[in-house]
Amino acid sequence: MSLKNSYPHPYIAREGHPYIILMLLICWGAFFIGCWFLNIILYFITVFVIQFFRDPPRNLPNDDELSVVSPADGKVIIVEKTTDPFRQQEALKISIFMNVFNVHSNRVPVAGVVEKVEYYAGSFLNAAVDKASSENECNAILLKTSSGQSITFVQVAGLIARRILCYAKKGDEVSRGERYGFIRFGSRVDLYLPVDAEPKVVIGDKVKATSSVLAQLSNQEA
């Protein structure tokens, strides 16, 4: 299913425009005062900042609303059955680690209605370690699908991530693959699914937001 033609966001995310403009001004300043070596270093930093804020449109893999798509680009670091700490119920947890070279635009994994948005201040540990889920700054969205299944997806800050941006609000109806947030400079996303969901990825898999399927929900109407 194509979302590219209807994706309403620029290829370079608006969240990055102030940083890019600032870096360009600094580069031009170094150029005009003749600091060639510094200008070269600043040029590479600017290129890095521009690539970090990429926000490309992506295609959904199919029209099956039971397919849970990835909320982020990155590497799968956890696939396990555990307890959803926001709902206090058993769940299938899938975690994706985003390094600084991944796209950091976050997408909705499955369509539904936002029941609650919960933000927690916390630490800034390396997002790849297990305790980052419980100790780091995070923002959780609790969602209910049209078939009544409960899904939780959590933006988790990382070692150098210092800003979690979430645009979804309680009561919003969101679509699978829809952009809902952004995390600046390295982080992870934790996804808590119904315990009977079937995982489609294993630890170590590289995934892309919207276009990669992480799991398949059970058919509650079957």
Task: Measure the CA–CA gap between 152 and 190, rounded to whole angstroms.
Answer: 8
b/e per residue 180-211 (b: at least 16 CB within 10 A):
bbbbbbbbbbbbbbbeebebbbeeebebbbbb
Pair 81, 195: CB distance under 8 Å: yes
Going by C-alpha positions, the residue among 87, 88, 134 that lies closest to residue 115 is 87
Count other Cβ atoms within 10 Å, centred on residue 131. 10
Q: Phi and psi for 94 in degrees, rounded to 5?
A: -125, 125
Give dist(CA 52, CA 45) in Å, integer. Answer: 11
Which of the residues 67, 187, 211, 212 is marked catalytic?
187
Q: Is 134 a catalytic residue?
A: no
Phi/psi of residue 15, each to 5°?
Answer: -60, -25
**What residues act catalytically?**
187
